[in-house]
Amino acid sequence: MNEVLDFLSRHGPSVLFAAVFVEQLGVPLPASPWLLAAGALAADGEIKWAGAIAAATFGYLVADAIWFCLGRYGGNRVLNFLCRISLEPDSCVRKTQNLFARYGMRSIVLSKFIPGFNTVAAPLAGSSGMSAFRFFVLDCISSLLYAGGLLALGGVFKHQLEQVLAALGSLGGGALAVLAGALALYFGYKYFQRHRLLKELRMTRITVDELKEQLEAGSAPIIFDVRSLAEVERDPMLILGAQHISLEEIDSCKQAIPAERDVVIYCSCPNEASAARMAQLLRKKGFARVRPLLGGIDAWRERNYPLESRVGAAKAFAPGDPSTAAPGELRVES
């Protein structure tokens, strides 16, 4: 392991930039060990603090610039791509959008410190319409805090790090085999969880063509939009006749759903995961005629089928009518 430290001391800034850049692009190769080791070397005066912080920060900013531009011009397709390759595809988009909605601009500063939000924050900011200047100012602050914190942590615990590296070095090639095996087990377990989740969420979907035919025939089902609130605020268009409801609201609203009615649920997430999860919840509560919409609102929009704004849908129902509800409340048409 001394060879690794010697290599880092000779090429510190370049190594840190590469490690951070690769991790921030989404490759599952953590940069934190390099930053901690660099902090220990900086504490011994073998590399410069300013150079290490600048290289790591620049690596974050370059990778985030790429993701920001992809999010600006690719929109939700980029987020869905990231979440399709994520180890937790069911909640990736929803969690990041909810976090962005809750904390606003502050979420960019916090992004580096929140697992699962780090890589997705930049394309989400791009797709949300945030100005590039504001994003890069906040992202620079986040990168400086995170990289500087890890470097400082490495400096504080340099003796402990040296002991760990010495112990690993005494194992020779066996240490690398142990580390590789541990990483393989971790990723294998996470992919097993992913496969099991997707298998649990596998159920019969209704296609957008079938739903359109039902709408035209006058036998429209109850349609729920279960996208995150942040996504609906950014894109307030709903499928004609749909109403927005969150996964958290289902328990309080289930009494208002007639058990004999067909229910269609849609989202804008990979594998219709959020829609399938709500469909599962409803089925467990006795609603047998509930199906997720295959492809979600994106498939509906691709077919140029009718949409309506969330505000317009709410205003279309007169106060006092039992089938009406205020924005955000459940309304069920008979």
pLDDT at 334: 40
Region of 241 please: left (phi>0), alpha (psi -120 to 50) or beta. left
Q: Give all domains of the chain, ordered by start, each with its CATH number.
A: 2-199 (no CATH), 208-315 (3.40.250.10)
Q: Are 33 and 52 in contact (CB under 8 A)?
A: no
| CB within 8 Å of 121: residues ≥ 6 apart | 64, 96, 100, 107, 108, 111
CA distances from 105 to 28, 140, 149 (A): 26, 13, 21
| CB within 8 Å of 44: residues ≥ 6 apart | 158
Q: Are 143 and 61 in contact (CB under 8 A)?
A: yes
Instruction: Check: pTM over 0.75? Answer yes or no.
Output: no
pLDDT at 319: 34
pLDDT in tens, the chain (334 residues): 466 667 777 887 899 999 999 988 877 778 888 888 888 888 888 888 999 999 999 999 999 999 999 888 876 677 666 665 554 544 555 566 666 666 666 778 888 887 767 777 888 888 777 889 999 999 999 999 999 999 998 888 777 766 666 555 555 555 556 666 766 776 676 666 556 655 655 667 889 999 999 988 888 789 999 887 777 877 889 998 898 887 667 766 667 777 778 889 998 766 667 787 788 778 877 787 888 898 888 889 989 999 988 765 444 333 333 343 433 344 444 4
Secondary structure letter of residue 290 according to DSSP: E
**CA–CA distance, 92 with 302 (Å, rounded to integer):** 23
**CA–CA distance, 180 with 122 (Å, rounded to integer):** 30
pLDDT at 25: 86
pLDDT at 167: 56
Phi and psi (nearest 5°) for 150? -70, -40
pLDDT at 79: 67
Q: Biggest alpha carbon distance in the chain?
A: 78
